[in-house]
Amino acid sequence: MEDKIEAFLDLVRERNGHEPEFLQAVQEVAETVIPYIAEHEIYNGKNILLRMVEPERLISFRVSWVDDSGEIQVNRGYRVQMNSAIGPYKGGLRFHPTVNASILKFLAFEQVFKNSLTTLPMGGGKGGSDFDPKGKSDNEIMRFCHAFMTELYRHIGHNTDVPAGDIGVGAREIGFMFGMYKKLNNTFTGVLTGKGQSWGGSLIRPEATGYGNVYFAENMLKTKDDSFNGKKVVISGSGNVAQFAAEKAIELGATVLTLSDSSGYIYDEDGIDTEKLQFVMDLKNNKRGRISEYVDKYPNAKYFKEERPWSVKCDIALPCATQNELNGEEAKALIDNGCICVSEGANMPSTPEAIHEFHKAKILFAPGKASNAGGVATSGLEMSQNSLRLSWTREEVDARLKDIMEDIHDSCVEYGKNDDGTIDYVRGANIAGFVKVADAMLAQGVI
């Protein structure tokens, strides 16, 4: 079996050798799905996984815009349309200086499996730009978003490809892009999700990824007759996902000890309560400040510059910032400090070495493609509401989100149960996500 996996990975490396993040994501899937394919006659000899690692379309384009000082700036825009076997391409847009084809292909590949797991009819895609929103004025953000959409609009549509937010793209950016799409098409459709409430957005979509991650972790803890109540929780990031993961963990009786950004982390031994979290939300979402400012307001807390929070003693860890932000050594530190559950809010935040440590220690570990799927699932619910031209209540959307996270958990258990009764959520998520897409691809023939 190992030879088979290596032969497959050699082929993928030959074509994508300069794309480390993409290769990392493919390797994890190949190691769990190729043995499954070998045991299931219908998938044999069809090169299904080889087809799945090749984007159906990868669009790259110039984005020219004028900054506040009148200088012309040039960025690169992308959309990776990875797989449309089970529905229109669906996945976020990331604006960050590190964005390149490798990062977007890894994200789009993960999205295919994640969207399949949600049980909703959504294919996988991802896009974005190497544009850095930090330090830009609202007018610069608007001009960039408008310029970005003047090319992207011809490749997307409510039945073709429905982008949303990701790192650096929140409600403000979705608004600017939606405005330009509407102007260029002269149609008001649900072409983007994460929209504002008064113009087609869904209640709970802003909260959904963070809440969904906590719901997923709750389901994992339930298998051990345990819960969030009374637990110490360490969270990385302080953006959309981290904020709402913290909010839900606090609501369930946990003590949240840390939050971070790319400059460092804060540790509040007394716990980040609801009032302190409101301060962080205002700091990050309105003032666009740095997490270090937390200790100016709450001097009992400590700030650790250019460090990550994984050495803080906790029961539960929720990595909610970015890819490869938790390595093997940090995983060992978490385990040595008694951590019993790691649930990924970000996409691929744990390195392969970290995942190996979690599996070796047999602690509960959820891969992002399962545990952060609540965001895109609620985007799917936004698409349904747009098609029906109505809005569901907060309670209704939250109840659907909870059910979806429980279903995803159950699918992981179905495909990931080990002989000793423990659950390999990585294998479970990969195989459950694969089966639905592969069956659709088989039914549709070689296209």
In angstroms, the CA 390 to CA 142 distance is: 28
Torsion of CA 423, 427, 432, 436, to 10 degrees: -170
Q: Does the footprint of ligand AKG cover residue 376 (CB under 6 A)?
A: yes
Residues 6+ apart with CB under 8 A from 249: 214, 228, 231, 233, 235, 256, 316, 318
Q: Does the footprint of ligand AKG cover residue 401 (CB under 6 A)?
A: no
Q: 408 with 373: CB under 8 angstroms?
A: yes
382 binds, among ligand NDP, ligand AKG, none (CB under 5 to 8 A by kind): none
In angstroms, the CA 53 to CA 304 distance is: 39
433 binds, among ligand AKG, ligand NDP, none (CB under 5 to 8 A by kind): none
Residues 163-192 that bind ligand NDP (CB under 6 A): 165-168
In the complex, least distance from residue 345 CB atom to ligand AKG, rounded to whole angstroms: 10
User: Which positions from 174 to 193 touch ligand AKG by CB under 6 A, shown as an x/- string?
Assistant: -------------------x
For this structure, is 417 an active site residue?
Answer: no
Q: Does the footprint of ligand NDP cover residue 258 (CB under 6 A)?
A: no
How far apart are the two ends of the chain, measured CA to CA in Å? 28
Which among 90, 105, 114, 126 is annotated as catalytic?
A: 126
| Stretch near ligand AKG under the rule CB under 6 A, chosen from 88-96, 277-285, 352-360, 391-399 | 88-96
345 binds, among ligand AKG, ligand NDP, none (CB under 5 to 8 A by kind): ligand NDP
In the complex, least distance from residue 120 CB atom to ligand AKG, rounded to whole angstroms: 11
State the residue for tokens 């080889």: 50
Q: 347, 350, 371, 430: which one contacts ligand NDP (CB under 6 A)? A: 347
Q: Does the footprint of ligand NDP cover residue 112 (CB under 6 A)?
A: no
CB atoms within 10 A of CB 296: 10
219 binds, among ligand NDP, ligand AKG, none (CB under 5 to 8 A by kind): none
In angstroms, the CA 27 to CA 12 distance is: 9
Residues β-bridged to residue 59: 79
Q: 166, 218, 247, 315: which one contacts ligand AKG (CB under 6 A)? A: 166
Nearer to ligand NDP, 21 or 261 (CB): 261
Nearer to ligand AKG, 52 or 376 (CB): 376
Q: 28, 56, 261, 424: which one contacts ligand NDP (CB under 6 A)? A: 261
CA 73, chain centre distance (Å): 29
Q: Does the footprint of ligand AKG cover residue 84 (CB under 6 A)?
A: no
Q: 403 with 78: CB under 8 angstroms?
A: no
In the complex, least distance from residue 205 CB atom to ligand AKG, rounded to whole angstroms: 8
> What stretch of H or E contains 173?
helix 171-185
Q: 86, 117, 164, 291: which one contacts ligand AKG (CB under 6 A)? A: 164
In angstroms, the CA 214 to CA 220 distance is: 10
Q: 75, 116, 238, 385: which one contacts ligand NDP (CB under 6 A)? A: 238
In the complex, least distance from residue 106 CB atom to ligand AKG, rounded to whole angstroms: 11
CB atoms within 10 A of CB 179: 15
Total residues contacting ligand AKG by CB under 6 A comes to: 13
Q: Does the footprint of ligand AKG cover residue 79 (CB under 6 A)?
A: no
The helix/strand/coil state of 303 is strand
Residues 6+ apart with CB under 8 A from 284: 238, 239, 243, 291
Q: 116, 129, 258, 372: which one contacts ligand NDP (CB under 6 A)? A: 372
Q: 288 with 132: CB under 8 angstroms?
A: no
In the complex, least distance from residue 118 CB atom to ligand AKG, rounded to whole angstroms: 9
CA distances from 397 to 202, 243, 246, 296, 374 (A): 8, 19, 19, 37, 11
91 binds, among ligand NDP, ligand AKG, none (CB under 5 to 8 A by kind): ligand AKG
Laid out side by side, the sheet with 232-236 consists of 302-305, 264-267, 255-261, 232-236, 316-319, 341-343, 364-366
Q: Does the footprint of ligand NDP cover residue 375 (CB under 6 A)?
A: yes
Q: Does the footprint of ligand NDP cover residue 124 (CB under 6 A)?
A: no
160 binds, among ligand AKG, ligand NDP, none (CB under 5 to 8 A by kind): none
CB atoms within 10 A of CB 192: 26
Q: Residues with catalytic annotation?
A: 126
Contact residues for ligand AKG (CB under 6 A)?
Answer: 90-92, 111, 114, 164, 166, 193, 347, 372, 375-376, 379
Contact residues for ligand NDP (CB under 6 A)?
Answer: 165-168, 209, 237-242, 261-263, 320-322, 325, 345-347, 372, 375
